[in-house]
Structure 1
Amino acid sequence: MRKIIIETYPITTPYVGLGEFCKQIGERLSKRANELRSLYDIELCFIVPPRFNGCYGEDVNYYCIPASLRWLLPFFPIKADLLHIPYQCSKVKCLYAAKKYLLTIHDINFMYERTGNKQKRSIKRFKNRLRKADYISYISNFACEDTEKHFYNHQPHKIIYNGVTDLSLLPCENNLPLDIPSNFLFHLSSLQPKKNVHLLIEMMKFLPEYNLLIVGNWNTEYGKILKKEILDNKLRNIYTLSHVTETEKASLFAACKAFLFPSLCEGFGLPPIEAMKFGKPVFLSKLTSLPEIGGNEAFYWEDLSPQKMAEVLKDKLALYDASSDYPERLIKSASRFNWDNCVDQYIKYYLEILGIEE
C-alpha cells in the first residue's frame, strides 16, 4: 500500500484563504479515499492539529501533531511515498522518510511586502523549501512566472487553479446586517496594505450617490488607519463590518451592486470569483494574477487614481446594467474554478509523481 501524506494544519482558520484551501482539498480528497485505495493501493493520511482528529471522516488516517512539535516532524520516522505540503509557508519543511515531496506555491508576496533583514530571512526560508521539494504546483500562471523570475527553480511543475466555493448555493438571508442600505458596493478582505482599500475610501468622495460596505479585520494597523480616514473625512456613504459568517457573506454578495478589489498583490484572488458566481460585476486592478483570474468579463482599473476609478466604476456599471446577459456571462466565467476539478488535478499529479497509470 502506497502512502500519501498531506499537511493541512491551516484548517484551524477555515474562513481565511489558506484555511479554506486546506479544508476543501482535505474534504474532497477524503471522499475519494476508497476509490484511491481500491484502484491504486493508495492510503491517504493527513497532518492536523490534535483537536481536528477525524475531521475528514473515517476513510483516511491522521497524524495529530501539536503546534509545539511541528518543527520536529521532519525527524519523525513517518514513512511515505509522497508528502504534499499544500502551502509554501508551512512549519513542516519536509519529512526525511518521505520518498517524494510536492510543494504548492500560492505566492511570493514577501518579495513585495517585506524589506531589509525580514525579506532576506524570508528569501532564505523559501529557497530552503524549494531545494527540498521534488515537484511543485502553482495556483496560477502568475504565481509560477513570478516565482521563476525571482528564484532558480528546476523542479517539474504544474498549474492547478484553486477551486472557489459557490456561496450562491447557500440559503441567503434577505435582511442585511445593521443599517446597510440596499444597492451597495462591496469590498471584503483581510485589510492589509496590499489590498489598497484606502483607494476605495478616497474614491467614495467622488461617488456621493453610492454607498460602500467594507468587511474585514479592523483591528489591524492598516484597518485602524482606514477607519480614522473614514471618520476624519466624514464619509457617511461608507459602512464597516468585521468578519462575517459564510451565510452572511453569501447574503452580502447576493445583495451588493458590485464587488471592488483594487489589490496590489494576489497569487490567486478568491473574493472576486465568489462575487462572479453570483453574477455580480467585479472591478479589479490589472496587477499580478487578477487579470488571469477575472478574465474577459471582469472590469479593470487601468488608472488607480481615485477620481479615475470613480469614473470607470460609473461607466462600467451602466454597461453592466444595459446588458441583460452579463450576469450569466460572469457566472460562466467563474465556473472554471471549482474544488472538484482542483482535486481531480491533484490526484492526477499524485499518480504521475508515483508513476501510476490511471
Structure 2
Amino acid sequence: MPLIGLDLEKLKYPHNGLFTVCWQLGQRLPALLEQDEELLYYLPAGFKGFTNNACYKALYYKWYHRYFFHPPKTAVWHALHQDTNVYPRKRTGKLVLTIHDLNFLLDERKDDRTKTLLLRRLQEQVDEADRIVTISRFTFNTVQEHLRVAKEKCCIIYNGADIKEYPSFDQPCYRPAAPFLFSVGMLMPKKNFHVLPALLQHNQYELLIAGAPHGDYIKKIQEEAALFGVSNRVKLLGPISNQDKYWYLKNCYAYVFPSITEGFGIPPIEAMQFGKPVFLSDKTSLPEVGGNHAYYFRDFDPHHMQQVFEEGMHQYATQHPQQAIIAHAHQFNWDRMTREYLHVYRSLY
C-alpha cells in the first residue's frame, strides 16, 4: 500500500503564496487517490485541518525535527519547498523536491560566501532527490545554470490560482473614495512596491497595497509616496481577509505587481481571472505568467512606468481584452497542478 508523504509545514505562514500551494495540494489530493494509496501530511503544530474532511495521516512538527527527522517509511516523500525545515536524514523512500526559485542569488544583502553556502546546501538536496519539480520555466533554467542536475530528472509543474467568490460581500476593511490600483504580497524589498506611488502622479487614483509588513520596508514605500506628494492616496492595508481580497480584485481599476524576484507569481493570475488589466515587471518568471495578456514595466523610471500604464489602460479601454485575459488565467488551475504532482509520485513506485 503506497504511502505518500507531503511536507506541508509551511501552512504555518497564512499570508503568502506557499501557504496557498500547500493548502490547495493538501485539500485536493485525497479525492484523486486509488483505493490502495494513502497520505501522510507533515503539518505545523496546532493545524486545525482542511475544510473538506480530507482523509490523511498526520505527523506534527516538533522543534527537534530540525536535527532528528525520521518519518515513517513512505513510497514517496515530497518536500514542497527547498527551504524546508526538515529533510529526511536517511532514505525512507523516493524523494521529490520542489524548487520555487533561487532568489537568494539576486539578494544584494547576501555576500558571495553566503550564496555559495546556500547553493551547496541546495545541491545536496538535489543530489538526494529522485525528481526535481520547478514551478516555472524561468526557475527550471536557473536551476540548470547554477546546479548540477540532469534535465531528465526535472519537470515543470505550474501553480494554480483561483479566488473564492463572495458575491454578496460589500464591507471591505477600507473603502476607496476614488478608482484604485491594487496589489497584494508580503511588504518586503523584493516585491518592489515602493516604485508604485509614481503611478499616482497627474491623476486622482488611490493605491491599495495589502500584505504583512516585513522589517522596515514599509518606510520606503511611505517615503516614495511623500516624494511624489501622494501620501494621502497610498493605503497600506496590512493582511486582509479572503473576502476583502475578492472585493478589491473585483473592483480595482488595475492590478500592479512590480516584483523583481518571483518563482511564479500567483497574485497576477488571480487578478486576471477577473479580466483586469495587469501591470507587471518584466523580471524573472512574471512574463511567463502574464504572457501576452499583461503589460510590462521594462524598468522602474517613473516616466517610463507612467507611460506604460497610460498606454496599457488606453489599449485595454479600446480593445476590450477581458475575455482573453480570463481565458489565459484559467490555464493555471489547482486541479491540474494536483494531478501532475500525483503523476510524478506514481512514476516513482
Q: TM-score range by the shorter chain?
A: over 0.9
Say if 2:327 is the partner of 1:332: yes
Inter-partner Cα distance in structure 2 for 1:53 and 1:302: 44
Tell me which amino acid in the other structure corresponds to 1:11.
L
Task: Look up the match of 2:198.
Answer: 202
Match of 2:41 among 39, 43, 46: 46
Inter-partner Cα distance in structure 1 for 2:89 and 2:167: 42
Inter-partner Cα distance in structure 2 for 1:286 and 1:54: 38
Aligned CA distance change for structure 1 residues 163 and 77 (closer, same or farther; 3 Å): closer
Match of 2:176 among 170, 176, 180: 180
**Same amino acid, percent of matched pairs:** 32
Three-state SS of the structure 2 residue aligned to 1:353 is coil
Task: Look up the match of 2:159.
Answer: 162
Task: Look up the match of 1:93.
Answer: 87
Q: Deviations over 1:180-224 (max 9, x none)?
A: 22421112121211112121123433x333322122234522112
Inter-partner Cα distance in structure 1 for 2:241 and 2:88: 34
Match of 1:212 among 200, 204, 207: 207
Inter-partner Cα distance in structure 2 for 1:268 and 1:187: 16
Match of 2:305 among 302, 309, 327: 309
Inter-partner Cα distance in structure 1 for 2:213 and 2:168: 25
Inter-partner Cα distance in structure 1 for 2:13 and 2:326: 27
Structure 1 range deviating more: 300-309 or 311-320: 300-309
Match of 1:102 among 96, 111, 118: 96
Inter-partner Cα distance in structure 1 for 2:200 and 2:229: 11
Say if 2:23 is the partner of 1:28: no
Tell me which amino acid in the other structure corresponds to 1:112.
L
Aligned CA distance change for structure 1 residues 163 and 58 (closer, same or farther; 3 Å): closer
Q: Contact between 2:16 and 2:185, CA under 8 Å: does it hold in 1?
A: no
Three-state SS of the structure 2 residue aligned to 1:300 is strand
Cα drift, residue 124 of structure 1: 2.5
Root-mean-square deviation (Å): 2.0
Task: Look up the match of 1:10.
Answer: 10
Inter-partner Cα distance in structure 2 for 1:319 and 1:157: 39
Aligned CA distance change for structure 1 residues 304 and 227 (closer, same or farther; 3 Å): closer
Task: Look up the match of 1:322.
Answer: 318
Cα drift, residue 48 of structure 1: 1.0
Say if 2:341 is the partner of 1:346: yes
Say if 2:132 is the partner of 1:132: no
Tell me which amino acid in the other structure corresponds to 2:106.
Y
Task: Look up the match of 1:251.
Answer: 247
Say if 2:142 is the partner of 1:146: yes
Inter-partner Cα distance in structure 2 for 1:175 and 1:77: 45
Q: Which runs of 4+ in 1 moved over 6 A?
A: none
Unmatched segments (≥5 aa) in structure 1: none
Inter-partner Cα distance in structure 2 for 1:11 and 1:57: 17
Unmatched segments (≥5 aa) in structure 2: none
Say if 2:237 is the partner of 1:230: no
Match of 1:122 among 118, 123, 128: 118
TM-score, length-scaled by structure 1:
0.90
Cα drift, residue 120 of structure 1: 3.0
Three-state SS of the structure 2 residue aligned to 1:174 is coil
Three-state SS of the structure 1 residue aligned to 2:347 is helix
Q: Contact between 2:265 and 2:285, CA under 8 Å: does it hold in 1?
A: yes
Inter-partner Cα distance in structure 1 for 2:68 and 2:158: 28
Q: Contact between 1:217 and 1:223, CA under 8 Å: does it hold in 2?
A: no
Q: Contact between 1:130 and 1:153, CA under 8 Å: does it hold in 2?
A: yes
Task: Look up the match of 1:65.
Answer: 61
Cα drift, residue 179 of structure 1: 4.9
Aligned CA distance change for structure 1 residues 310 and 125 (closer, same or farther; 3 Å): same
Q: Contact between 1:53 and 1:62, CA under 8 Å: does it hold in 2?
A: no
Alignment of structure 1 residues 72-83 onto 2, 5 Å: 72-74=67-69, 76=70, 78-83=72-77
Aligned CA distance change for structure 1 residues 172 and 232 (closer, same or farther; 3 Å): farther
Tell me which amino acid in the other structure corresponds to 1:335.
H
Inter-partner Cα distance in structure 2 for 1:307 and 1:183: 21
Inter-partner Cα distance in structure 2 for 1:218 and 1:135: 35
Cα drift, residue 77 of structure 1: 6.0
Structure 1 range deviating more: 110-119 or 50-59: 50-59
TM-score, length-scaled by structure 2:
0.92
For these two proteins, the number of residue pairs brought into alignment is 344
Tell me which amino acid in the other structure corresponds to 1:25.
L
Tell me which amino acid in the other structure corresponds to 1:109.
N
